[in-house]
Structure 1
Amino acid sequence: MKDFNFKIPQNVQFGMGSLKKLPEILKENNSNHVFLISDRVLESIGVVKKIQDIIEAAGIKLTTYLEVIPNPTIDVVDEAADLYKKCEATSIVALGGGSPLDVAKAVGVLAKFGGEITDYEGLNKVPGPIVPIIAIPTTAGTGSEVTASSVITDESRNYKFSIVSYETLPKYAILDPELIMTSPASIAASCGVDALIHAIEAYLSKQASPFSDAMAEKAMELIGKNLRKFVKDRTDKEAACGMMAGSNFAGISFAWARLGNVHAMSHPVSAFYHVPHGVANSVLLPTVMEFNAITDKGRYEKIYNYIVEKNKETKNFKSEMLIEELKKLNSDLGIPKSLSDLGVKEESIEDMAKDAMKSGNVLANPRETTLEDMIELYRKAM
C-alpha cells in the first residue's frame, strides 16, 4: 500500500431541516454581517428569500449578490468581490450549485488577499485561510462544499481555469435534503450523474487511496441506489437524503484523489459551447470509460454492481457491460447521447483537446493520455 494523507477540516451538518442551524453557525463564527452569494433562478423559486429570512430573523446584517451565472466568469467574480469589500461583510454564505460555491471561494480569496483571480490559477497559489464560507448546496451533484477547487471561466482565453487550494475549503457546510427536492428532473439527472462521475473518477484515479476509495464506494452505493428514484420523484425523502449524502461523499473522494479525463474534457466543452457542466460530463463518461477499460483491475465490475438497476453479483463480467449500463443510465435519465447533440462542432475539437491536456486531471487518469488520444476521444464522443 502506498503512502497517503487526508484531513477533515470542516464542520458538516446533514439532515432534513438542518437549515435551521444556520443562525447558530453564523453566531459561532462571529458573523455580524453576511454576504449571501446565489443566483436569480433560486431567487425566482423562493429559496433565496428563505435564507434571507433566516439570517435577518437572527438579527444579522445581510448583503446579497445574485448575479451568478452557469460557468461563472472572471467578471462575475470581480463584481461580487467589489461588492463584498464595499459592504464590509465578515463572512460568506454560498447558496446553490457549483457555480455560486465556486464564485464564493474566488470572492473569499480576493477579499482576503486582493489582486486578480488569475493570480491564483493552478495548484496551491492561495497563501493562507480565506474569508469564512458557509456552503449550502441546493443540488446533489457538485460536492463543491467539501472540495478544494474553484472553476472560473476566462472569456478572453475561452478557457475554464481552476484554483486548487485547501485554503478555499468552506469552513462549514449545511446539507439539507429539503433544498434539492424542488429541482427539475433535468437538473436532478445531470447533477446526479455528475456526482456519480466524481466517485467513479476518484475510484479509478492513479492518486486513489484507501480513504478516497471508502468515500467513493459509499457514494456510488448511495447514488446508484437512489439516482433513478430521485429523478422520477423528487419528493421521495429517502432518495433525496441518499443523493445529498452520496454527492457529499463523492466530493470528499475526489478532493483527495483528483478526477480524470471526463472532467479534463468537459471543461473545454462548457467553455466553448456553454454546456452545463453535469451534462457535458454525463455525455463524455461512456467514451472515457471505454478508453480506460484496458487499465481495469477489477474495479469496473464493482462500479457496475453499484449502478445496475438490480444490484447483484454478476457472473462472467466484461468491461463492455459497464459501458452499456452507463449509456443506459444516461438514456433512462433523458441525457443527450453525443457531443453533437449538445451543439459541439468538429472544428473546435483540436482546440478543446489542447485545453483539456492542460488539466491536472489528465495526470490522474488511469490510462496515460496524449494529445492525439484526446482528439480521438472527442471525435468518438461526437
Structure 2
Amino acid sequence: MLNQYNLKMPKNVFAGPEAMQNLKTIIKDGVAKITIFTGKDILKLGLLNELISIIENNHIEYEILSDIPSEPSYTQAQEVVDKFKALNSDFIIGVGGGSVMDIAKLASVLSTGDYTVKDLLDNPLLAKKQVTSLMIPTTAGTGSEATPNSIVGVPEKNLKVGIVNGELIADHVILDSSMIKNLPKSIAAATGIDALAHAIECFTSKKANPISDTFALEALDLILNNIIEACSNPDALEAKRNMLLGSFYGGVAITCSGTTAVHALSYPLGGKYHIAHGVSNAILLTPVMKFNEPVIKDLLAKAYDRVAKEPNKELTVDEKSKYIIDLLENIVTTLEIPTSLKAFNVPEEDLEGLVEAGMQVQRLLVNNMREVTPEDARKIYLEIM
C-alpha cells in the first residue's frame, strides 16, 4: 500500500433521479457553442432528446459528432478531434460509453493543435485542458467520466494504450440512470464487468491506499450486489442507479490507485482482435484473480466482509477469498459473457504474440501484487484459449 497518495476528481458530479436537469446550471453562464460527442445508436435511441431540449431552451448553438468508432485507434481519434477543432466550440459534452468519452476528453486538451494524439502517446504530460468538458455515461461502465485516462488502439503494436494525465479529467459529470435504462443486456453485462474489474483490481493493486480503498470497496459493494439485477431487469432503476454510482467510484479508484494484470493482459485482445474491452476483462478476470490469490487472500477476505449481506462469521480467510473468486466467476457465467477466446476464433499459434504484447503493458503489470513473468502470462492466456 502506498504511503503517499492523492485524489483527483471532476469538479462537479450530479447524480440521482432527473440528474440531467442540472445541465441547466452547468451551461447557463458564458457558454457560446457546444459540441456533443456521441454515437449513432445513442442518437437513434433518443437519449439526447432531453439534453438537446435544455441546450435549445438556453439558446446555445450546438453541433453533434456521432461518427465515433468503438475501440478507436489513435488515428481515428485524431480524425474526430480534427473535426471538433473546425467547429470552434467552447464547451464539450461526451454522451456515451468509454470510447466516446475518451475521445471527448482528448478533444478537451487538443483544441489548439499544438500537439496530436500521437504526441500524447509519446508524452502524455503535454496535455493541457483547453475546453471545459462534461461527461454523461450511457453505460455502467467504463468509469471514464471519472478517470484521467483515454484509451486508444495502436495497430502497429496490436495494443490498446492509455494516455494518462490529470488534465483529461472531466470538469463536470452527470450520472442519470435514465441514460442506461434500456441498455441491451449484453452491453450492460460487459461494461458492468469492466467496472467490477476496476474495483477489485484497484483494491488489490500495489498502489492501493486509504483513499482508493474507500472508493474501490464501495464500488465492489454496489456492483457485486446489483449487477445481475441491473443487467437482467430493465425496470430495476435502483439497481441501475447503484451500478452507475459504482462504476463512477471504480473510476475514482483508478485515479488514485490503478488496475493490474486483468487490464494489462486484456489490452492485446482488444488491440489485435477487437474484442470489446469489457468482454476481454471478463474473460481474464477469474484466471488472473486465481493467479493472484496466494498473495491477496487477506484483501479478498476484507472484500467479503464488506460485500456479503449475510456474512458467515465462521469462514476462514481462505474460505472468504474463495467465496469472492467464485462469486466473480458466477457473475460472468450468469451474465452469459464468453469465458474463452474460442468464441472469437483466436488461434493458439498466436499465443506468443499475445504474451509479447501483454508483457509490454508494464504501466499496469507493475501494479500487480504478484509478479507476472512471461511464463505466467503464457499460462494465463493458455487457460482461456
Indicate whether the TM-score tops 0.5: yes
**1:34-183 aligned within 5 A:** 34-121=34-121, 124-183=124-183
SS in structure 1 of the partner of residue 82 of structure 2: helix
Kindly indicate whether residue 369 of structure 2 is the aligned counterpart of residue 366 of structure 1: yes
* Distance (Å, rounded) in 2 between the aligned partners of 1:306 and 1:139: 25
The answer (yes or no) to whether the contact 1:128–1:167 under 8 Å persists in 2 is yes
Structure 1 57/206 Cα, relative in aligned 2: closer, same or farther at 3 Å? Answer: same
SS in structure 1 of the partner of residue 13 of structure 2: strand
SS in structure 2 of the partner of residue 174 of structure 1: strand
* Distance (Å, rounded) in 2 between the aligned partners of 1:308 and 1:275: 32
Structure 1 130/248 Cα, relative in aligned 2: closer, same or farther at 3 Å? Answer: same
Kindly indicate whether residue 348 of structure 2 is the aligned counterpart of residue 346 of structure 1: yes
Alpha-carbon RMSD: 1.9
Structure 1 307/141 Cα, relative in aligned 2: closer, same or farther at 3 Å? Answer: farther
* Distance (Å, rounded) in 1 between the aligned partners of 2:54 and 2:314: 49
Q: Deviations over 1:303-331 (max 9, x none)?
A: 34556686554613524443332221111
Partner amino acid, structure 2, of 1:26: I
300-309 or 331-340, which deviates more: 300-309
Q: Percent identity among equivalent residues? A: 32
* Distance (Å, rounded) in 1 between the aligned partners of 2:364 and 2:32: 39
* Distance (Å, rounded) in 1 between the aligned partners of 2:351 and 2:206: 26
Partner amino acid, structure 2, of 1:209: N
Q: Deviations over 1:242-285 (max 9, x none)?
A: 11111111110111101000101111101111111111101100
Partner amino acid, structure 2, of 1:19: M
The answer (yes or no) to whether the contact 2:120–2:127 under 8 Å persists in 1 is no
Partner amino acid, structure 2, of 1:375: R
* Distance (Å, rounded) in 1 between the aligned partners of 2:75 and 2:8: 33
The answer (yes or no) to whether the contact 2:297–2:317 under 8 Å persists in 1 is no
SS in structure 1 of the partner of residue 48 of structure 2: helix
Number of matched pairs: 381
TM-score normalized by structure 2? 0.93
Partner amino acid, structure 2, of 1:343: N
Kindly indicate whether residue 230 of structure 2 is the aligned counterpart of residue 230 of structure 1: yes
Equivalent residue, structure 2, for 1:19: 20
Equivalent residue, structure 2, for 1:288: 288
Q: Which runs of 4+ in 1 moved over 6 A?
A: none
324-333 or 302-311, which deviates more: 302-311
Structure 1 168/202 Cα, relative in aligned 2: closer, same or farther at 3 Å? Answer: same
| Deviation (angstroms), 1:179 | 0.7
Q: Deviations over 1:49-94 (max 9, x none)?
A: 4433332222111111101121012233222222212111112100
* Distance (Å, rounded) in 1 between the aligned partners of 2:127 and 2:240: 37
Structure 1 55/229 Cα, relative in aligned 2: closer, same or farther at 3 Å? Answer: same
Equivalent residue, structure 2, for 1:245: 245
The match for 2:331 among 329, 332, 348 is 329
Structure 1 65/127 Cα, relative in aligned 2: closer, same or farther at 3 Å? Answer: closer
Q: Deviations over 1:152-179 (max 9, x none)?
A: 1123433212110001101100111111
The answer (yes or no) to whether the contact 1:73–1:152 under 8 Å persists in 2 is yes
Partner amino acid, structure 1, of 2:20: L
The answer (yes or no) to whether the contact 1:269–1:344 under 8 Å persists in 2 is no
Q: Which runs of 5+ in 1 are unaligned?
A: none
Kindly indicate whether residue 4 of structure 2 is the aligned counterpart of residue 3 of structure 1: yes
